[in-house]
Structure 1
Amino acid sequence: MTAPTWTSDVSGTGQYAEVNGLNMYFESHGSGRPMILLHGGLGSGEMFGPILTQFAQDHRVILPDLQGHGRTADIDRPLDVRLMADDTAALIEHLGLDRPDVVGYSLGGGVALQTAVRHPATLRRLVAVSANTRSDAIYPEMREQQGQVSAAAAEFMKETPMYELYQRVAPRPEDFPRLLDKIGESMSHGFDFDDDVRGLQVPTLVMAADADMAPPSHYVEVFGLLDGGLRDGGWTGEGRPKGGHALSILPGLTHYDIVDSPLFAATALAFLDAE
């Protein structure tokens, strides 16, 4: 796989918003019904560069940089998807957006799910991509790798696109080891958000690669928590989940290249734009 450059190919405007004590950077691209795209860990909104044109063709796309990522400086609090969900809801309110769709990938997928859990009236529809609801669903070898993330790994990451991006755009480039420490601390704690998912009221698309960080069966289980895959759908769809939820496993992709795939954008848009 070719390493991503993580740069945008659609002109947009970058601004800062004061939300929850965070000076959050965001960009706005295109016009139409609003959509928020939430990036993965150690990335920024630039991660969506290869497919941004697809999203921005008929939508106003908001690309925030989450706490401590990209152009948003860190603050003195843990990296927690629930806190970052509150940031996202505060940004929606700050911008006066009327129930935007929210699409989140990896870390951003967890943030998107928690935004729907904690602020359901704020969203119209949700797409959670490569977002695991339980830490024990992740392959053991991946959990072992996550356990090695700390400031000590900063030197070894200097040839990666994550490090290059951070050095290029972060307000304090010297904070990269601190970010690794905080991400490592966050990943060291087990989590189980299954009960949160069961109560989701926002129509949700669960999406993953067929070779993701957890097995496809995990995402099928998440769909099951949303009343999906439990019965035949019926000739007229009467057996589908009553909340309008859906599942998509994208072929030939991994956790690391799904975010670059036009199939990801096309599938998300088909769900978001459905009547």
Structure 2
Amino acid sequence: MTADDWGSDAKGVGQYADVNGINLYYETHGEGSPLVLLHGGLGSGEMFGPVIPALAERHQVIAVDLQGHGRTADVDRPLDLGMMAADIAALVEFLGLGKAALVGYSLGGGVALRAAIDHPEVVEKLVAVSAHARTDAIYAEMRAQQGQVSAAAAEFMKDTPMYQLYQRVAPRPEDFPRLLDKIGAFMEQDFDVTEQIRGLQVPTMFVAADADMAPPSHYVEVFELLDGGLRDGGWMNEGRPKGGHALAILPGLTHYSIFSSPLLAAVTLAFLDAPAQQLPS
């Protein structure tokens, strides 16, 4: 796979927004209710190239390049979910969207989730893709690999789509080792947002591959935090989770293929376009 495999013929309109102390790049595709799309670590909005056309048929897709990724230059602060979530909330406000659906994958899923926790006033619905709720949910061998991510790995990544994309679009291509250092430091931090997930105030769908970085059982556990998977759904959906939450485990995919799969576009559209249910008071 190369960075070119992530592209598509759908060319969006690219712009920058000065928000929250960062010059954030975003690209707009299509028309309709707003959908903010957040990529994974070491990627950019271009990762979603294969699925953007389907999403943009029914939504105004705003594909963002997060701090230090893609066409958004880094700033003097660590990679932090809370800060990046604040960037996205500020962007929604800057664009005058009121509220937007947030769809995020991996790192972007963590940012989208944190935005829904910290800034629910700007989130219409949330789709968190391949985003685990606590550090120990992912496989031990993956934790070991993550511990090796640093600037020293830059030389060994030159044949990867992440490196090739960064070199092609980044304002400062020489910053790739710095990004690796920041990603490595970010992944070293333990976190657990299970209790915050339990209190989510926006309709949320967790999505994972059936061979993801964390086992399917973890996402079932997270769904249970949202009142899901605890009873029969009922003929009239009366037993479904209060608040319209959902879970999707996508077959035949991995953490490294789910973001460009037509299955992801299909379940995302089905969830976003379904009538919203009221959260219990």
2: CA distance between counterparts of 1:267 and 1:4? 24
The equivalent of 1:68 in structure 2 is 68
Q: How does 1:28-177 map to 2 (within 5 A)?
A: 28-177=28-177
1 CA distance for matches of 2:217 and 2:160?
30
Superposed CA offset, 1:219-270 (max 9, x none): 0011011111111212211111111100000000000000111010011000
Once the two structures are TM-superposed, the CA of residue 3 in structure 1 deviates from its matched residue by: 4.2
Q: Partner letter of residue 61 of structure 1?
A: V
Q: Describe the SS at the equivalent of 2:263.
A: helix
Query: Which residue is 2:235 aligned to?
Result: 235
In structure 1, what is the equivalent of residue 196 of structure 2?
A: 196
**Deviation for aligned residue 1:9:** 2.2
Structure 1: runs of 5 or more not aligned? none
- Alpha-carbon distance in 2 for matches of 1:11, 1:187: 32
Partner residue, 1:222: 222
Structure 2: give runs of 5+ residues left out of the alignment. 276-281
Q: In the aligned structure 2, how far is the partner of 1:177 from the partner of 1:63?
A: 24
**Alignment-mate amino acid for residue 153 of structure 1:** A
The question of whether the paired residues in 2 share the 8 Å contact of 1:27 and 1:64 is answered with yes
Deviations 1:159-187 (A, max 9, x none): 10000000011011110000000000010
How far apart are the structure 1 equivalents of 2:58 and 2:150? 40
Contact 1:146 1:184 in 2 (8 A): yes
Cα distance, 1:8 vs. partner? 3.8
The separation in 1 between residues aligned to 2:92 and 2:207, in whole angstroms, is: 23
Three-state SS of the structure 2 residue aligned to 1:36 is strand
CA RMSD, aligned part only? Answer: 0.9
**1:258-273 equivalence runs, <5 A:** 258-273=258-273
Alpha-carbon distance between aligned partners in 2 of 1:9 and 1:98, rounded to the nearest angstrom: 30
Q: What amino acid does structure 2 have at the position aligned with 1:269?
A: L
CA contact (8 A) 1:9 1:52 kept: no
Alpha-carbon distance in structure 1 between the residues aligned to 2:121 and 2:44: 26
**Alignment correspondent of 2:27:** 27
TM-score with structure 2 setting the length: 0.96
Distance in 1, Cα, partners of 2:238 & 2:172: 53
| Paired residue secondary structure (1:128) | strand
Contact between 2:223 and 2:246, CA under 8 Å: does it hold in 1?
yes
**TM-score normalised by L of structure 1:** 0.98
Secondary structure of 2:51's aligned partner? helix
Instruction: Tell me which stretches of 4 or more aligned residues in structure 1 moved more than 6 Å.
Output: none
Quote the Cα distance in structure 1 between the aligned partners of 2:77 and 2:3. 30
- Could you list the per-position Cα deviations for residues 12-54 of structure 1 after superposition, in whole angstroms to 9, with x for gaps in the alignment? 1111100111000001111111111000000000000011110
CA distance in 2, matches of 1:33, 1:190: 35
Quote the offset at 1:82 in angstroms: 1.3
Map Cα deviations across residues 72-98 of structure 1 (whole Å, 9 max, x no partner).
011111101111000000000000013
Instruction: After superposition, give the CA deviation of every residue in 1:188-226 in whole Å (9 maximum; x if it has no partner).
Output: 111101111011010001100000000000000110111
2:271 & 2:2 partners in 1: Cα distance? 28
**Corresponding pairs, count:** 274
Query: Do 1:208 and 1:250's aligned partners in 2 also have CA atoms closer than 8 Å?
Result: yes
In 1, the alpha carbon distance for the partners of 2:190 and 2:91 equals 28
Contact (CA 8 Å) 1:44, 1:69: kept in 2 or not?
Answer: yes
Aligned mates of 2:14, 2:236 — CA distance in 1: 45
Specify the code of the residue in structure 2 equivalent to 1:219: Y
